[in-house]
Structure formats: C-alpha cells, structure tokens
Amino acid sequence: MTRSCLAIILAAGESTRMKSSMSKVLHPVAGRPMIAHVVSSLADAGISSVALVVGRDAEKVAEAAGGSAEISTFVQTERLGTGHAVLAAREAIAGGYDDILVVFGDTPLITAAPLLAARQALAEGQDVVVIGFQTPEPTGYGRLIVENGELLAIREEKDATPEERRITYCNGGLMAINGARALEFLGHIGNANAKGEYYLTDIVEVVRAKGGKAVAVEAPAAELMGCNNRAELALIEAEWQKRRRHELMVSGVSMIAPETVFLAFDTQIAQDVTIEPNVVFGPGVSIESGAVIHAFSHIEGARIATDATVGPFARLRPGANLGEGSKVGNFCEVKKAEIGAGAKVNHLTYIGDAFVGENTNIGAGTITCNYDGVNKHVTHIGANAFIGSNSSLVAPVSIGDGALVASGSVITEEVPADAVAFGRARQDVKPGRAKLLRERYQAEKAARKTDR
C-alpha cells in the first residue's frame, strides 16, 4: 500500500502467568522469539516503522524484535491499561502516519492478510478497524456488536446482556486507527471503571461519539492466539508447526508422519525431499532436492545437498555441510565439517572441524580428535580415501587423496596420498595363555568364596 503506517507493538506485560525469569515475548516459537514473528508479519504487510512499548527486559525485547524494521522503543512505566500503553508511544504516533496499527507481542501466529485488510478499511474511510474472529466458544472474550456492517461497540462479557453473550464474533485485540485522528481518539478514552484503567477497546465508542466510523474485519481464530502461560505457548507452537508442515508438503516435501516432525522458523526444504518420522530441525537448516532424512535425526545449522542421506539417529550440528550424494548414517555426529560429494560416514562416528573429500569412506567408530582442552584443530581427509573402523585422527592432521588408514589406528602425523598408515601396536599371540588365565581366575574366585 502507498499509505504510511506505524505499527505499535504492545510488549510491556509483566508475564506473571508465564512463571518465567524473562519477558513473555522472548519465549521462542519454532526457535525464534515470539515478538520476532510479529515483526516479520508486519514486514510482510509492508510496514517498516515500528513503535515498541516495553516494560521488563526492555533492551532484550528490543534486540529480539530487531530486523529490517525501523524500531523506536518506549517504556511503559505504569500499567494503566492497553489505552495507556498505546499512548506511551505518543511521540511516534504524532509523526504524521496515515495508519496506526496496534498489535501484541505475544500473538506470533498473526499473518499479513488481516493486517492488510484492516489498513484497506482505513483507506476506504473508516476511523477504527478492529480485527475479530468467530468462535463457537466465545466465553471470556469481548463481543463485537455489529449492526448493518458498522461496529457499534466492543462489549466485555461481564457487561454484556444475555443476548449479547450469544454473539460468536469476538474481539481479537488488534486494531487499526486513522492516523490523522489517533491522538484525538486515544486522548478521550476514560478510566471510569472498576480498575481505573484506560481500555483501548473503548476507542470504538469514542470514535462513534465523535462522528467517526468503525468496522470489524475477520481473521482466523488461530492467528489471534495470545500467550499467557506455558500451556498456551505449547498450543501456539503446535499450531505453527502444523501450518509450516502443511506449507512444505504442498510445496513437494514428503513427510511420512508429519505430526512427529518439528521445524524451525527458517527451515528450508526443497521439493522431492523425504522426511521420516521423529526428525527435529533447529535453526539454520537447508535441504536440497532428493535428500532423505531418516528417522530420529536432529539437524541444526546444516546444509544438505541434493540426494544426500542422513540417519537414522544422526546428529548434524552447526557448520555441517553435506555434499551431493553423501551419506551420514546411524549414530553419527557431524559438526563444522565439509563432507564431500559421494563420501560416506556410516556408523557410530564423530566428524568435527574437518574436511572429508569426495567418495571417501569413513569406517565405523572413527573419530576426529579435534579438541586439545583449549583449542579446536582441523582434520583434512582427501578424496577417495579409506579410513578403517575404530580409528582416531588426532588433529591437526592431514590424510592425502587415496590414502588408506588401517583399522584401529591412532593417526598423529600426515599420511601422504595413496599411502597406507598403521598407527597401532603390533599383535602378539601367546598360545595356550587364555586357558591358563581362566584357570587362575577360577581358582581366585573359589578362594574368595571359601574365605566368606
């Protein structure tokens, strides 16, 4: 839209019911603070000017809300209701915006669509637009009193008549206000109520008393879900995950048991990827076409190239970069490592701070010993190499192209290309010694029983 808009995010609540040491809006949904989701949706609606009204954890909340938006922070020192909270941003409201949009920092499921619908109604001449929702269970919500398409009032349940309580169109809390008259309307909200607070919902009747126009626009109920406690946080997380899984499956991603797959806010998965059950994605994951993620894998901060396979029971940590057609198998962990095209890291293996060349095979039980107790060091393994099972590669160390490391080796020095390296003690066989040892041990055990 060509109209200018200021979004005011109310995030000054004490979060008492969250029973938390940090502000409610900092709690994550899909690995991202709630308030960052709200700011992202504002950006999707073309809104770049944001006034953030904060209380506790003000600096942390402002940092979490950051991004491409121009954010001004205002501290609400007293808690005197939502109308009072909005006026904490009086200086920003006075900036001459066409539209003022009021949203909450704890509604991370809101999308751009209802925000744009509310702004469109302002553009068509309305002075206040309330975003509402329909629900078959309206108990506890303020009702939207609509007549002939006009919004007459928002009636709190305790003040509603029996007939009004049967209304299923409820207040979602978010609203848009005519920027040219916003301070005028907000300044006339009174506090003549039991709590002595200034309720933003009263703005509808203020607008109508001044000859202005008010309407409501509808949004899906799920988008207006707010968060007051950990149980509601879990419901919001579940709804976000359901929405994102659906988007990915529609785009061509196969999920065998989608309800068991958990995604991060920035997970990117291309079409023709298959995700098996019980897979968890942390932030920073991208997966290219044709890859397969087997069951019970945990992936964070990793890139997985075309036709690569991961798991089952694999862990990819930040910096893992799997090349085309590579494989990281069961009970393997990869951290800050390049796995070349066609390379295989099959079983019970740890590869960290390393480079593994194309078509190299890493045997079961191999580890890169990358940490000396103070610093991390790099292991470099060339292309077409073969690392035998149960080998320890003590970094910093380099193994050349086509080299072979014998099983059970501890490698501490460079292995040249096409060389074979043995880093283990010579085998010594003592014929008959096992029989003698068993007899000795059995005699010792019998003696202990006699002593008792």
Query: Residue 151's beta-bridge partner residues?
Result: 146
Catalytic residue among 188, 347, 377, 380: 347
Nearest to 13 by CA among 51, 50, 58, 49: 58
Give the dihedral sign, CA 43/46/50/54.
Answer: negative
SS (H, E, C) the chain: CCCCEEEEEEECCCCHHHCCCCCHHHCEECCEEHHHHHHHHHHHCCCCEEEEEEECEHHHHHHHHCCCCEEEEEECCCCCCHHHHHHCCHHHHCCCCCEEEEEECCCCCCCHHHHHHHHHHHHCCCCEEEEEEECCCCCCCCEEEEECCEEEEEECHHHCCHHHHCCCEEEEEEEEEECCCHHHHHHCCCCCCCCCCCCHHHHHHHHHHCCCCEEEEECCHHHHCCCCCHHHHHHHHHHHHHHHHHHHHHCCCEECCHHHCECCCCCEECCCCEECCCCEECCCCEECCCCEECCCCEECCCEECCCCEECCCCEECCCCEECCCCEECCCCEEEEEEECCCCEECCCCEEEEEEECCCCEECCCCEEECECCCCECCEEECCCCEECCCCEEECCEEECCCCEECCCCEECCCECCCCEECCCCCCCCCCCHHHHHHHHHHHHHHHHHHHC
User: Does residue 347 have an active-site annotation?
Assistant: yes
Instruction: Measure CA of the first residue to CA of the last residue in the chain; give whole Å.
Output: 91
Residue pair 23/57 in contact by the 8 Å Cβ criterion: yes
Q: What residues contact residue 234 under an 8 Å CB cut-off, 6+ apart?
A: none
The whole-angstrom distance between residue 373's C-alpha and the CA centroid of its chain comes to 32
Residue whose pair of structure tokens reads 């890139």 in the numeric block: 303
Burial class (CB in 10 A: 0-12, 13-18, 19+), 184: middle
β-pairing verdict for 32-33 and 28-29? antiparallel
The residues annotated with a catalytic role in the active site are: 347
